[in-house]
């Protein structure tokens, strides 16, 4: 049974079109061949460009927010219960309107329906929580958090299966991640439970994959698996949230031995920070999953970055330099190794640029380059001026004084 | 119908050659899997960390290392990186020049960043240029522009424009992020200069693919300066007139060239300025309800207009 508002054939057609566009951009097919593919993959869905989608989303969101504000102002609502009720009330027509737009106009990732369902999600969950809070003798903070997380998790999961929004699946997983922290368990149990939960989802996702699955579903699953994988990694790395402080302020982490966890748990987590990225890389390479390879690569870099913190070693200012040089060296070795293979590839892996990505004006590395002058100027401006050994009479000869 | 099925069908009909079928099948089945962008990302991260580490080391161990060691190391690093680029780089061309290898662009970027760090250090420590200390930024920007065009490097062009912006007085300092009139006029001057340079070079057919970088810099500086001018001086100011003119030109050009990113910029900045003016006018005389009503009506009008434009231009995703 297909719960999704879009037929799998329609989504597959859109997937093929996107692929064909990338092939055309990369010079693998001609304009005429692209047109043939376009003709044969009519999905009957109304798509829009990324920038129009963003504009539709922003302005629909403004309109919906202002509408609620206007009604709340008209009714002069000022207590949690009534506002919560209003939120709940509005969440229904917003959701219904989103479904209507998809059914009637066949809009697909248009921004408007996305703003409607996300506003509906926020209003439904926020409204329910506010209503509960307005009740006399309402539950404690942990129970409220559990209620919020449950509602967000269920609603966003529904949005994922109904509309196919990937970010809804991500929101649902993040909300699920809050569960173990609401039972006042010891931190070791909280982490273990979360690890089990995410691990189970990751395994389930791997298990439900098969060759007959449509390409668009495979791609979607790949991204979800990568997100779950990152979640798993962030759960086991106990030093991840202090990495920026320890690298750039050179703070010694000895004052929190074992990051506040039992030593055995700490060292197991240390081993896992190496094993999990390795496993991710293995699975990604084995099944050619780009999102998983990228996630595992990032996790591996983070493991290297937190290695000193784990071992309780002192950080030095030149650590980023050595780390950067190591990354470049690793990249160069991989490039040379792959280039020496037959047809400049090994097991199909190559460093050649095959598919050109779409350009949206300014890419992230270029933004990084643009802020670089600020970084270099700041790092030297704060450097203290070294006093000359001849200044102030410090190296004066016998009998010389500062005020000679 | 799946991708492979479609490709086979096209091949059977004769609309897709056997070579194309083989290549596309191998790519789709991931028998040919490129790690190009992953490796580029790794090198870029490495370069960024090296520059960050160099800056941190200088700041922390300045007294232990001494001027000579720091300046010599940075200068040697710069010379080695730039020397490599001149040795391995392709001849200069007005069009796109492919990099000789994956790491080439980043070696040039590293060389430029080390040079920048070296110059900043020398000027901070020795004050060679005295009151005109920021002259080194102008010289650096000129050098980066030359290198960006010589080696066809978008990263270095961004660095050049960022350095030029720093010469105009813009720094990354969130604590004091405000737009005084002084800054506003400089931002407009920088924006117009970048815009003029980008458009002129594009018209001359020199590295036309660089236009987007110029436009991104120019438009953000111009729009931020003009919107902040509208905030400060209101409707009856040259800033508002400037915003209307620039916004209209950008929208017209974006739709003509189908570069919808700039359309997005113009609509968003324009809406922010207009909303500020309306709220500022409504606030003293009218209730909160009018402000909500304004947002409802205005956002619906914008959505409707975008729909019309979208349909008219049949914009493709």
Cross-chain residue pair B66–A386, CB shorter than 8 Å? yes
B6, A374: Cβ pair inside 8 Å? Answer: no
Choice between B90 and B314, residue whose per-residue pLDDT is larger: B90
Q: A350, B303: Cβ pair inside 8 Å?
A: no
B22-46 pLDDT, tens digit each:
999 999 999 999 999 999 999 999 9
Nearest CA in chain A to B27: A354
Q: What confidence category does residue A112 fall into, taking pLDDT thresholds of 50, 70 and 90?
A: very high
Which residues of A, range 164-223, sit inside 8 Å of B by Cβ?
Answer: 214-215
Q: Of the ranges A140-149, A243-252, B112-121, which one carries the lowest mean pLDDT score?
A: A243-252
Per-residue pLDDT, A373 = 75
Is B60 in Cβ contact with A372 (below 8 Å)?
no
pTM metric for this prediction: 0.89
Cβ contact, residue pair A384, B62, below 8 Å: yes
Q: What is the 3-state secondary structure (H, E, C) of chain A?
A: CCCCCCCHHHHHHHHHHHHHHHHHHCCCCCHHHHHHHHHHCCCCCECCCHHHHHHHHHHHHHHHHHHHHHHHHHCCCCCHHHHHHHHHHHHHHHHHHHHHHHHHHCECCCCHHHHHHHHHHHHHHHHHHHHHHHCCCCCCHHHHHHHHHHHHHHHHHHHHHHHCCHHHHHHHHHHHHCHHHHCCCCHHHHHHHHHHHHHHHHHHHHHCCCCCCCHHHHHHHHHHHHHHHHHHHHHHCCCHHHHHHHHHCCCCHHHCHHHHCCHHHHHHHHHHHHHHHHHHHHHHHHHCCHHHHHHHHHHHHHHHHHHHHHHCCCCCCCHHHHHHHHHHHHHHHHHHHHHCCHHHEECCEECCCCCCCCCCCCCHHHHHHHHHHHHHHHHHHCCCCCCCCCHHHCCCCCCCCCCC
pLDDT beyond 60 at A201: yes
* pLDDT of the residue at A386: 45
pLDDT in tens, B50-91: 998 998 898 888 778 888 999 999 999 999 999 999 999 999
Question: Would the CB atoms of A348 and B58 count as touching at under 8 Å?
Answer: no
pLDDT in the model for residue A402: 35
The answer to whether B44 contacts A74, with C-beta atoms less than 8 Å apart, is no
Nearest to residue A287, comparing CAs of A338, A219, A195, A234?
A219
Q: Which residue would you say has higher pLDDT here, A375 or A196?
A: A196
**Of A9, A293, A379, which has the smallest distance from its Cβ to B58's Cβ?**
A379
Per the prediction, chain A carries an average pLDDT of: 88
Single out the residue of A179, A192, A186 nearest to residue A232, CA to CA. A192
Q: Which chain A positions have a beta carbon within 8 Å of B124's beta carbon?
A: 380-381, 383, 385
Q: Are A205 and A186 in contact (CB under 8 A)?
A: no
Q: Look up residue A321 and give its two tokens.
A: 């330099």
> B121–A338: do the CB atoms touch at under 8 Å?
no
- pLDDT for A379 equals 60
- How does residue A399 score in pLDDT terms, banded at 50, 70 and 90? very low
Among the partner-chain residues A15, A60, A317, the one whose CB lies closest to the CB of B56 is: A317
Distance separating alpha carbons of residues B193 and B195, to the nearest angstrom:
5
Q: Is A67 on the interface with B (CB under 8 A)?
A: yes
- Of A252 and B189, which is predicted with more confidence? B189
Q: Which residue of A has its CA nearest to B41?
A: A365
CB contact under 8 A, A112 and B303: yes
Distance CA A311, CA B25 (A): 48
Region for residue A59 given its phi and psi (left: phi exceeds 0; alpha: psi -120 to 50; beta: otherwise):
alpha
* Chain A: closest CA distance from residue B242 (Å): 23
- A8 and B CB contact within 8 Å: no
pLDDT at B145: 96
pLDDT for res A391? 43
Mean pLDDT score, A142-163: 95
Q: Is the pLDDT of residue A74 over 50?
A: yes
Lowest mean pLDDT among A200-204, A235-239, B177-181: B177-181
Question: What's the whole-number mean pLDDT along residues A195-218?
Answer: 91
Contacts of B161 in chain A (CB under 8 A): 370
DSSP state of B236: S
Q: Does residue A324 sit at the B interface (CB-CB below 8 Å)? A: yes
Shortest CA gap A268–chain B (Å): 28
Nearest by CB: A248 against B31, B56, B306: B56
Query: Residue B232 is encoded by which pair of tokens?
Result: 């400060």
Q: How many CB pairs under 8 A join A and B?
A: 308
Reported as a pLDDT band with limits 50, 70 and 90, residue A398 is very low
Instruction: Report the range out of A256-265, A377-386, B71-80 with the highest average pLDDT.
Output: B71-80
**Residues from chain B contacting residue A243 (CB–CB below 8 Å):** none
Contact between residue A99 and residue A114 where contact means Cβ atoms under 8 Å apart: no
What ipTM score was computed for the predicted complex, to two decimals?
A: 0.90
Q: Region B187-211: what's the mean pLDDT?
A: 95
Taking only the tens place, the pLDDT of each residue in B79-131 is 999 999 999 999 989 999 989 999 999 999 999 999 999 998 898 888 888 77
pLDDT of residue B131: 77
Whole-number pLDDT of residue A252: 53
**Given an 8 Å threshold on Cβ–Cβ distance, is B1 in contact with A16?**
yes
pLDDT of A394 reads 40
Residues of A in contact with B63 (CB under 8 A): 384, 386
CA atoms within 13 A on the CB side of A311: 9
Using the predicted structure, report yes or no on whether residue B189 has a pLDDT greater than 90: yes
Out of B20, B50, B295, name the one closest to residue A324 (CB): B50
- Indicate the pLDDT class of residue A403, thresholds 50, 70 and 90: very low
Pair B267, B250: CB distance under 8 Å: no
Share of chain A above pLDDT 70, in %: 89
Q: What is the mean pLDDT of residues A328-343?
A: 94
pLDDT > 90: what percent of chain A?
72
Do B43 and A351 make contact, defined as CB atoms within 8 angstroms? no
Q: Is the pLDDT of residue A244 over 80?
A: no
Instruction: Test B45 with A301 for CB contact under 8 angstroms.
Output: yes
Q: What is the C-alpha to C-alpha distance for residues A243 and A305, in angstroms, rounded to an integer? A: 7
Whether residue B299 and residue A383 make contact (CB cut-off 8 A), yes or no, is no
pLDDT, residue B173, reads 55
Interface contact flag, A375 B55, Cβ < 8 Å: yes
Please name the residues between 237 and 276 in chain A that touch chain B, using a CB distance below 8 Å: 248, 250
Domain boundaries, given as residue ranges, for chain B: 1-33, 35-158, 182-317
């Amino acid at each position: 049974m297909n719960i999704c508002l879009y037929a799998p054939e329609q989504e597959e057609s859109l997937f093929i079109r996107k692929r064909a566009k990338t092939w055309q951009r990369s010079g693998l097919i001609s304009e005429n061949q692209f047109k043939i593919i376009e003709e044969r993959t009519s999905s009957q869905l109304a798509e829009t460009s990324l920038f129009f989608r963003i504009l539709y989303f922003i302005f629909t969101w403004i309109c919906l927010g202002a509408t609620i504000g206007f009604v709340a102002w008209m009714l002069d609502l000022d207590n949690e219960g009534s506002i919560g009720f209003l939120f709940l009330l509005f969440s229904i027509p917003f959701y219904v309107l989103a479904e209507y737009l998809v059914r009637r106009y066949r809009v697909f990732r248009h921004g408007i329906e996305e703003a409607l369902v996300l506003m509906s999600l926020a209003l439904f969950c926020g409204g329910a929580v506010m209503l509960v809070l307005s009740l006399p003798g309402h539950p404690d903070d942990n129970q409220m958090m559990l209620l919020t997380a449950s509602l967000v998790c269920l609603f966003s999961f529904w949005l994922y299966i109904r509309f196919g929004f990937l970010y809804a699946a991500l929101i649902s997983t993040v909300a699920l991640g809050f569960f173990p922290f609401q039972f006042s368990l010891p931190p070791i149990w909280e982490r273990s439970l979360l690890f089990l939960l995410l691990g189970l989802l990751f395994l389930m996702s791997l298990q439900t994959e098969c060759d007959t699955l449509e390409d668009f579903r495979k791609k979607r699953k790949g991204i979800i698996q990568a997100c779950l994988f990152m979640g798993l990694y962030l759960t086991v790395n106990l030093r991840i949230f202090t990495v920026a402080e320890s690298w750039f302020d050179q703070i010694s982490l000895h004052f929190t031995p074992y990051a506040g966890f039992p030593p055995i748990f700490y060292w197991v987590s240390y081993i896992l920070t190496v094993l999990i990225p390795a496993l991710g890389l293995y699975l990604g390479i084995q099944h050619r999953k780009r999102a998983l390879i990228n996630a595992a690569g990032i996790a591996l870099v983070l493991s290297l970055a937190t290695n000193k913190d784990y071992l309780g070693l002192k950080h030095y200012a030149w650590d980023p330099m050595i780390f950067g040089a190591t990354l470049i060296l690793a990249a160069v070795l991989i490039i040379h190794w792959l280039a020496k293979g037959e047809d400049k590839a090994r097991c199909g892996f190559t460093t050649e640029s095959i598919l050109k990505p779409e350009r949206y004006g300014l890419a992230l590395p270029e933004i990084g380059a643009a802020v670089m002058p600020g970084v270099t100027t700041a790092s030297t401006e704060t450097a203290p001026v070294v006093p000359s050994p001849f200044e102030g009479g410090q190296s004066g000869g016998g009998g010389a004084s500062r005020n000679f | 119908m799946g991708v492979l099925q479609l490709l086979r069908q096209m091949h059977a009909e004769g609309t897709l050659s056997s070579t194309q079928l083989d290549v596309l099948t191998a790519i789709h089945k991931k028998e040919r899997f490129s790690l190009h962008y992953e490796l580029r990302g790794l090198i870029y991260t490495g370069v960024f960390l090296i520059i960050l580490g160099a800056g941190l080391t200088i700041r922390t161990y300045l007294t232990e290392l001494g001027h000579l060691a720091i300046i010599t190391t940075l200068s040697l690093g710069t010379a080695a990186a730039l020397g490599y680029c001149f040795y391995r780089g392709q001849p200069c061309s007005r069009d796109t020049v492919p990099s000789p290898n994956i790491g080439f662009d980043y070696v040039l970027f590293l060389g430029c960043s080390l040079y920048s760090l070296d110059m900043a250090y020398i000027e901070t420590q020795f004050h060679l240029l005295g009151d005109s200390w920021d002259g080194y930024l102008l010289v650096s920007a000129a050098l980066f522009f030359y290198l960006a065009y010589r080696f066809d490097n978008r990263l270095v062009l961004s660095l050049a424009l960022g350095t030029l912006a720093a010469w105009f007085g813009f720094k990354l300092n969130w604590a004091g992020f405000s737009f005084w009139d002084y800054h506003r006029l400089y931002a407009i001057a920088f924006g117009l200069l970048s815009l003029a340079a980008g458009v002129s070079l594009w018209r001359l057919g020199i590295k036309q693919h660089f236009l987007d970088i110029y436009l991104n810099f120019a438009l953000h500086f111009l729009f931020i300066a003009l919107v902040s001018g509208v905030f400060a001086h209101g409707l009856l100011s040259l800033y508002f007139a400037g915003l209307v003119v620039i916004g209209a030109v950008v929208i017209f050009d974006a739709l003509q060239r189908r570069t919808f990113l700039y359309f997005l910029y113009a609509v968003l900045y324009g809406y922010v300025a207009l909303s500020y003016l309306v709220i500022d006018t409504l606030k003293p005389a009218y209730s909160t309800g009018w402000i909500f009503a304004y947002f409802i009506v205005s956002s619906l009008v914008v959505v409707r207009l975008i729909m019309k434009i979208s349909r008219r231009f049949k914009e493709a995703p």
